[in-house]
Amino acid sequence: MELLNIIFRKKYKVLWISTLVLILLYVVLRIFIFDSDPIIPLLSSLSNSYLLLIEKFANQLLHYFGSTVTIENHTVILNNVKLDGFIPEIRLIKWMALFLFLVFITKTSFSRRILFSFLLILVHCLIVSVYVAVGAYLSGFSDPIYSFLSIPITLGLLIMVTILFYWFKRHKEAILNSLSKLKINTKRFENGYRVMIIIYIYIILSSFLFEFFEFRLWIDFLFISAQKILALMGYEAVVEPYYLIGANGSISMIKGCLGFQTMLLFTVMVFLTGIRNKYRWIYTLAGLVFLNVVNIFRFVFLFIHIQKHGDYILAMDIHDMYNYITYFIVFILWIIWFEKFAESTS
């Protein structure tokens, strides 16, 4: 239990207890005091300001390459006509948060971490600006192929990973020392180029090739499984392509709801940190099955909420909440892996 002992050391207890108190306070205020969520609007405001900045850069790129398409307040416009099909958004935000976290846990000077974090944010802003500019440009065609948007996203993410790899090379000893204290097998990380290649393969699979498959069989399996569970609970549902339909509303599903990237990241982390043995395969398979079960019950609860309340706006909040639950589950699965199985040799 060394990992848990490290997490709950005396110097970290204040942080954990304060965090739990704040979460509890937030839940109580949200349920009994506020009529709407007080945090999400604040985060949305910050996100909106950042997206407006990105759109300004995107407009400069479009103008530079002679395009007549412009972006105004998250809307693509051509000759004073609003174009549908592409909505500017901030991509790679979870990757950005992960990279910043990795930078800040590195034992080096605070000023160096701040400067490198600023570099990452600047690169992220430029990458998303290119993505938005390409999306706006494609929307000007009569039959745009938005799968091509995977190209700037993939290239941008590869650039960000390469920059982070430079950070790793500069602080390799400190990072490996921190990982070893968490009982993580650092032998695989000593060859940084091998790790980088594996991460590159992960990015190409999750960000590029993912866009060119529809995963129809996987989606049907999840919806049919949810349909069977709902039938046991007394709810009638009909499964049609990409829809789970009920009397008072339906759930639509796109491949982004599968959690493919999250499951692939879980798999990569297990294979990077484990020793060559059967436990990696068994744990990976069990973890993927469990995550799919969680996804099935997410659709079950969403469907029940919609049938009872017919409120899809609140249902989307529940949808997002289950995303966070999934990330938490993956984190717990990683802790169990590091604690019980990563160092096993049998």
CA distance 176 to 284: 24
> Does residue 6 fall inside a structural domain?
no
- Whole-number pLDDT of residue 38: 63
What are the tens digits of pLDDT across the range 296-335?
Answer: 988 888 888 788 876 655 545 555 666 777 778 888 887 7
Q: Which of 1-10, 22-31, 54-63, 100-109 has the highest mean pLDDT?
A: 54-63
Distant-in-sequence, close-in-space partners of 277: CB < 8 Å, separation ≥ 6:
344, 345, 346
- Whole-number pLDDT of residue 49: 92
Same domain, yes or no: 204 and 72? yes
Same domain, yes or no: 123 and 83? yes
Same domain, yes or no: 110 and 201? yes
Distant-in-sequence, close-in-space partners of 185: CB < 8 Å, separation ≥ 6:
273, 274, 275, 342, 343
Q: Looking at 139-215, list the stretches that DSSP marks H as alpha helix, in order from N- to C-terminal side.
A: 150-170, 172-181, 187-190, 192-203
CA distance 58 to 46: 19
Q: Rounded to two decimals, what is the model's pTM?
A: 0.66
Angle at 337 between CA 336 and CA 341, to 5 degrees: 115
DSSP class of 1: -
> Does residue 37 fall inside a structural domain?
no
> Does residue 148 fall inside a structural domain?
yes
> Does residue 192 fall inside a structural domain?
yes
CA distance 229 to 131: 40
DSSP class of 108: S
CA distance 295 to 327: 12
Same domain, yes or no: 221 and 140? no
Host H or E run for residue 120 = helix 110-138
End-to-end CA, the chain: 19
Same domain, yes or no: 61 and 178? yes
Same domain, yes or no: 175 and 236? no
Same domain, yes or no: 201 and 222? no
> Does residue 300 fall inside a structural domain?
yes
Percent of the chain with pLDDT over 70: 80
103 touches 94 (CB < 8 A): no
| CA distances (Å), origin 67, targets 63, 64, 126, 150 | 6, 8, 18, 21
- Whole-number pLDDT of residue 63: 93
Say yes or no to pLDDT of 270 above 80.
yes
Residue ending a domain, choose from 212, 227, 261: 212
Residue ending a domain, choose from 212, 243, 260: 212
- Whole-number pLDDT of residue 230: 92
Range of the domain at 62: 54-212
CA 113 from centre of chain:
23
What are the tens digits of pLDDT across the range 198-253?
Answer: 888 888 888 887 877 788 899 899 999 999 999 999 889 899 888 888 888 888 88
Same domain, yes or no: 208 and 255? no
Amino acid identity, position 131 = Y
- Give residue 44's pLDDT band: very low, low, confident or very high (50, 70, 90): confident
Residue ending a domain, choose from 212, 243, 265: 212
CA distance 286 to 291: 9
Same domain, yes or no: 175 and 219? no
Phi/psi for 141 (5° steps) reads -85, 155
- Whole-number pLDDT of residue 1: 46
> Does residue 144 fall inside a structural domain?
yes
CA distance 220 to 243: 9
Q: Looking at 65-92, list the stretches that DSSP marks H as alpha helix, in order from N- to C-terminal side.
A: none
Number of domains in the chain: 2
Say yes or no to pLDDT of 107 above 50.
yes
Structure tokens at 171: 């602080």
Same domain, yes or no: 309 and 252? yes
